[in-house]
Amino acid sequence: MTGRSPKFLRGMLTSAASVMLAGSLLATPFAAQADDRREPSILTFGIVPQQSASRLAQMWGPLLERAGQDLGLEIRFKTTRDIPTFEACLAAGAYDIAYMNPAHYTIFAEISGYRAIARQTEKKLHGLLVVQRDSALQSIADLEGSEIAFPSPGAFGASIVPRAEIRAQGVEFSPKYVRSHDSVYRAVASGLIPAGGGVLRTFNAIPQDLRDQLRVIYRTEGYTPHAIAGLGSIDLALLRAIQETFVGLSIETPDLVASVGMNGIEAASHGDWDDVRGLALTADATGISTEDAAACPSG
């Protein structure tokens, strides 16, 4: 392929992705509303607040800016102060595009009409349990009767799955919800709480001096990772273009994709999360907020 331009390569690499997306979207209930779909000149892109807003803006800003330039529109970075507020925004359909965890996707695809267009390449999401590096804790069994920090009830890899696997081992514990993944790591490192839940991507993204204070004692089973998903009210052609742009940028500018903690971005379809659906998660069982849409900040 010597001499081919990046744009040519993007077309070659994403033509199949376009067919996949069109098929997955046309098979959904909201396809009947195609005449009402819109083509906005500004897209809001909501990011689940696993880390601080300033850190997320630093990580995602360059990628979203470049994607907007390639699409010929503005993509506005959005996040919230915590994951429950982010869930309220997903319930309200407040974001045109959103990066959400697997449990969020399976629930808000039904509630708000989000449909997956992309996900991290060749990746399974594993939850982690971390302790202080010099802690005597070595396994889940050692956590009996302990308080364990989690980002929120609805954080999939860092909370839902670890909680379920700890309970499956018959270990009793008290969950403490502390807003974000980074808050978990800081609380454990400082000795405020003996153990906490996270995921590998956010663990690797924290400063080295903080990571050096922690040790992983458990890794959960793996599941399909976070979804990049668009609202069904957006024009199908635009959703396909967004998908092609992110998949293409994964090839053309891998450094921008690496900056958000991904080794690549590939096309996704609704059925990719059937493994998560197999867990039969409900909003009530996970603690995911689906009703208080008024809690989503406007503007």
**What is the structure's pLDDT at 26?**
41
Contact 131, 162 (CB under 8 A): no
* Four-residue CA torsion sign, 172, 200, 53, 194: positive
Encode pLDDT of 10-21 as tens digits.
343 344 444 444
Helix (H) / strand (E) containing 198: strand 195-199
- C-alpha span between 174 and 177 (Å, rounded): 10
Rg over alpha carbons for the chain, rounded to the nearest Å, is: 19
**What stretch of H or E contains 266?**
strand 265-267
Residue 253: strand, helix, or coil: coil
pLDDT at residue number 12: 35
Distance of alpha carbon 166 from alpha carbon 218, whole angstroms: 10
Give the chain's residues under pLDDT 50: 1-24, 26-35
> What pLDDT score was predicted for residue 291?
67
Q: Which strand (E) or helix (H) includes residue 148?
A: strand 146-150
Measure the CA–CA gap between 221 and 223, rounded to whole angstroms: 7
Q: Are strands 214-223 and 173-177 parallel, antiparallel or unpaired?
A: unpaired
Q: What pLDDT score was predicted for residue 250?
A: 96
3-state percent breakdown (helix, strand, coil) of the chain, nearest 5: 45, 20, 30
* Site of tokens 């507020």: 85
- For 292, the token pair is 């208080």
Q: What are the CA-CA distances from residue 218 to residues 155, 182, 191, 200 (Å)?
A: 17, 18, 18, 11
- Which long-range contacts link 26-34 to residues 24+ away (Cβ below 8 Å)? 26/236, 27/270, 28/113, 28/115, 28/232, 28/270, 30/113, 30/232, 30/233, 31/232, 33/232, 33/233, 34/236
